[in-house]
Amino acid sequence: MSDDSRPSLAKGSISLEKHTGGSDAYEVTKDGQSPACTPRDESDVYQFFVSYQESHAGRLVLDPGFASAEFGEDIAKQLKLSPDKSKILWPQPADDSHDPQNWSKARKTLQLTIATLAAVVPDFDSSIGIAAVFAMARDFHTTPNHVNQLGQSWAIFAIGWGGIFAVMLIRRYGRLPVLFWSQLLALGFMIGVTFAPNLNVSAAMRTLVGFFGTCAQVSGLYVVTDMYPVHLQARKLSIWTMGFVISPVLAPFLLGFLVARANWRWAYGIGTIYNAIVMLLIAFSSEETMYDRHLKEPHPYTTPGTARYRIETLLGLTGYRMARFRPSWKAVALAPLRVFWRPHLLAALWFEGAMFGFQIGFHVTNSVVLANPPPNGYGYGQIQIAATYASSLGAVLIGEVVGRYLNDWLLEVTVRRNKGVFEAECRLWACYPSVALFVCGSVLQGAAFQLHLHIAVLVVGWVLAQMAVMMNTSAIYAYCNDCFPKYQGEISALINLARSLGGFGVAYFQVNWVTRHGALQAFGTEAGIVAGLFLLMVPVLQIKGSYLQSRFAVN
């Protein structure tokens, strides 16, 4: 959708004015004239392009064929393009081999892989409780529902808030050291869960694992945008988001069979081993992707590539020294509040939080409902319940592939339609099939439970809903990231908080709701809420997106 009243990029209207003062040394203006002056040297050109991307959030020239009309011939000639010359690179890579945008494909792929594996950690650790819920209830002399409410829900709650604090540290000290120390603490608390003597200690340890482990679920957006240009970011974000979308079903599937035959503590032991493997990958293979583009010399203290730099960066010494060049504690503490209330972000958070939250809630309560004897459930045992989660794994993989190519296609169509200009609102077209799939899937799940339909009906509904969540999540992340290019961490943390809060309370009411009023009413109502939020928000964002970005821009 488009709005004829939305501001368009003025052709040949970019002028560059030199001022003084750090990252604000360059300003992009639109005066209807040809460029008033041209950058005096290569440094001026680079800072000009950095300023242009930040000031044109959500609306960038991507087609090189239209660059001259936008920037003028002299400046357009200095733009760096993709290898096939079909796209302008945003951000523009610096003439520095240490700029992550200039890293080799293999080097970038390794960092993305580690980021994705780390993103699995918090929800994987939390969802081990789904597989172990009955065994833990027996050992701790309580009910499965109480185990879910005390341990599972508060772990999900902590996952959301931990990301807010992690981003503050990342803005000051860098991606790598914060990820390293947070995962080390999560590993220690995971050991505590494994050997917890009672339910209260177990719940406390699981909450702390979620709080510290979630750093990987917010830093990954930084890693993707640090290494990849705008036209590739949605594709790579789809891979990274797959990590935490698939993790809530990974543990119930893989470890459900184990818990049926061995002590539940072995399940948490395996989770601890996985955390340790991720820790080793971070310690020995992960790299700092933060590149201070506004500085003349991004690494003034040590030389990247040396052993000293590697150790000091991992432990946080380099970040501590660099903090004096970065935003103050006051700035990083207020940044989430500065962006949170922007209407186009707030609408996206509500929508994504509802869809993802209800799906988390279903995962949390699914094992309880499946285990209930007829007529309120299927009366399944541990092995049968674990087997049902296999369908979700396939659904997430299918959703990732579909979402990846759909986002790429939407970008290409938008750029052609807008004469070389990319608009962030094109990402939201992926929400349309996502909502349709989610509504169909949720209603099928509810009908299968309530009407005692064949388990295949439940599986089909589950697959559709899981595909929808995967596709929608990658689209929302890409849209919000495009709208706020200077606040990737805050955007990632707020989306993480929205989806966590969305799923936090579901364990407290969904089982009782299904038992008293039927699954069709419960899941159908949740589907209706998601559909209603979609109709109220997504079309409006597409029609008025450019106006909202201009009216509520964040400096």
Q: What is the DSSP string of 524-543?
A: HHHHHHHHHHHHHHHHHHHH
How far apart CA 33 and CA 385 sit, in angstroms, is: 67
Share of the chain above pLDDT 90, in %: 36
Omega within 30 of 0 (cis) for the link into 91? yes
Identify which has the larger pLDDT, 276 or 551.
Answer: 276
Quote the Cα angle for 435-438-441, to 5°.
Answer: 150
Identify the CA nearest to 128 among candidates 252, 216, 244, 245.
252
Q: Length of the chain, please?
A: 555
Candidate from 12-26, 225-239, 391-405, 499-513 with smallest mean pLDDT: 12-26
- The string of pLDDT tens digits covering residues 195-211 is 999 989 998 999 999 99
> Between 366 and 402, whose confidence is greater?
402
Residue 462's nearest CA partner among 395, 518, 384, 520 is 395
Least confident piece of the model among 140-149, 209-218, 297-306: 297-306
Q: What are the start-end ranges of the H helices in 140-174?
A: 144-147, 153-173
**Superfamily assignment of 105-326 in CATH?**
MFS general substrate transporter like domains (1.20.1250.20)
The confidence score (pLDDT) of residue 546 equals 83
Q: Please, which pLDDT band fits residue 7 given cuts at 50, 70 and 90?
A: very low
Angle at 56 between CA 54 and CA 60, to 5 degrees: 110
Whether the pLDDT of residue 539 is over 60: the answer is yes
Task: Average the pLDDT over each of 107-111, 124-128, 165-169 and give the range with the smallest value.
Answer: 124-128
- Name the one residue in this structure whose structure tokens are 């902590």: 158
Q: Residue 303: what pLDDT?
A: 67
The answer to whether residue 31 scores a pLDDT higher than 70 is no
Torsions phi, psi of 352, nearest 5? -65, -40
Do 45 and 54 touch, CB atoms closer than 8 A? no
Query: Tokens 């949390």 appear where?
Result: 364
With beta carbons less than 8 A apart as the criterion, state whether 153 and 507 touch: yes
What pLDDT score does 149 carry?
Answer: 73
Mean pLDDT, rounded, for 72-81: 85
User: What is the DSSP-derived secondary structure letter of residue 272?
Assistant: H
For residues 209 and 124, give the distance between their C-alpha atoms in angstroms, rounded to a whole number: 11
Count of beta carbons in the 10 Å neighbourhood of residue 536: 12
Q: Which fold, 336-554?
A: Growth Hormone; Chain: A; (1.20.1250)
Q: Is the pTM of this model over 0.75?
A: yes
- Grouping H, G, I as helix, E, B as strand and the rest as coil, residue 268 is helix
For residues 465-486, give the mean pLDDT: 91
pLDDT (average), residues 78-84: 89
Least confident of 15-19, 278-282, 342-346, 484-488: 15-19
Average pLDDT over every residue of 306-313 = 85
pLDDT exceeds 50 at position 398: yes
- Give the closest residue to 477 by CA, choosing from 224, 286, 250, 211: 224
Q: What is the pLDDT of residue 57?
A: 75
Task: In whole angstroms, give the CA distance from residue 385 to residue 365.
Answer: 12
Residue pLDDT, tens place only, 319-353: 998 888 888 999 999 999 999 999 999 999 999 99
- Res 519: pLDDT: 79
Report helix, strand or coil for 374. coil
Give the pLDDT band of residue 42 (cuts 50, 70, 90): low
pLDDT higher than threshold 50 for residue 295 = yes
The reported pLDDT for the residue numbered 301 is: 63
Give the phi and the psi of residue 98 in degrees, each rounded to 5: -85, -10
Distance CA 377, CA 184 (A): 40
- Rounded to an integer, what is the distance from CA 467 to the centroid of its chain? 16
Residues 117, 280 contacting (CB under 8 angstroms)? no
Percent of the chain with pLDDT over 70: 89
Q: What pLDDT sits at residue 514?
A: 76
- Residues 169, 330: Cα–Cα separation, whole Å: 12
- CA gap 74, 60 in Å, rounded: 19
Q: What is the pLDDT of residue 310?
A: 87
Tokens of 173: 């000290």
| pLDDT of res. 39 | 54
Question: 3-class DSSP state for residue 248?
Answer: helix
* Position with higher pLDDT, 294 vs 113: 113
What pLDDT was estimated at residue 299?
66
pLDDT of 419 reads 86
Return the structure tokens found at 250.
Answer: 């990974």
pLDDT of residue 292: 84
Please provide residue 60's backbone torsions phi and psi, each rounded to the nearest 5 degrees: -125, 145
Whether 254 shows a pLDDT value over 90: the answer reads no
Highest-confidence segment of 87-101, 140-154, 383-397:
87-101
Domain residue ranges in the chain: 105-326, 336-554
User: How buried is residue 465: exposed, middle or buried, by Cβ count under 10 Å (0-12/13-18/19+)?
Assistant: buried
Q: What pLDDT was estimated at residue 376?
A: 65
- Rounded to the nearest angstrom, the gap between the alpha carbon of residue 335 and the centroid of all alpha carbons in its chain is 18
- How many angstroms separate the CA atoms of 359 and 357, rounded? 5
Contact 327, 172 (CB under 8 A): yes
User: How confident is residue 148, by pLDDT bands cut at 50, 70 and 90?
Assistant: confident
- Distance (Å, rounded) from C-alpha 176 to C-alpha 182? 10
